[in-house]
Amino acid sequence: MRSLLGKIGTQDVEDVHHFVQLALENETVKLDRTRIALFGGSHGGFITAHLLGQKPDFYVAGAMRNPVIDVAAMLATTDIPDWTASESGLSVLDPLIPTSEIYQKLYDVSPIKHVQGSTCILPLSLIYFSAAIKAPVLLLLGEEDKRVPPSQGLLLANCIRHLSPKVNLYPGEGHALGGIETETDVYLSTVEFFDRVFKK
């Protein structure tokens, strides 16, 4: 865990991808390389978004619970700004005055860097990002989440709106999405989402 500080978005993402590849190489378990999907929440959602953006031809779908998408934007909106600092390699002892250098460092470790691609076109009043993500996406967001505000997931949905991502916004729910009805809906929605993806 200590080795991850300052290396989020690279070390954790490559670790997960490496273990997926090891699982695919395992001769005792036959896995279909064309049907590899991702599911993660919070930091797991952060890794999921990274993998969808960094390896768009490998993963075919992703479901995310309250994912971290833009660490720079989280600095001023989360109840754990020290997480954004320490995980990104900044000192939590220094006052987190948002300089352009700090914002750049936080952006550089964020999935949004890989999600947006390189093109931004502004025809009339429409903004379109050439997103690296190609896969279908399901976002499961707590409307009252103070840890990873729903604006994080909504930012991703906006950037990939040409893919028509599915967004479930749960009123009154926080980061855990832990209400009985909500948790039931989260898992049923996820199963239905992957079922639709794999039936195509």
Residues with catalytic annotation?
42, 145, 175
DSSP classification of residue 162: G
Dist CA 144 CA 171 (whole Å): 7
Please answer whether residues 112 and 69 qualify as being in contact, where contact means their C-beta atoms are separated by less than 8 angstroms: yes
Residue 123 Cα distances to 16, 46, 129, angstroms: 38, 30, 12
Residue 65 Cα distances to 44, 46, 73, 106, 153, angstroms: 8, 9, 18, 21, 9
Dist CA 168 CA 37 (whole Å): 19
State the burial class of residue 8 (Cβ atoms within 10 Å of its Cβ: 0-12, 13-18, 19+).
buried
- Within 10 Å of residue 120's Cβ, how many Cβ atoms? 11
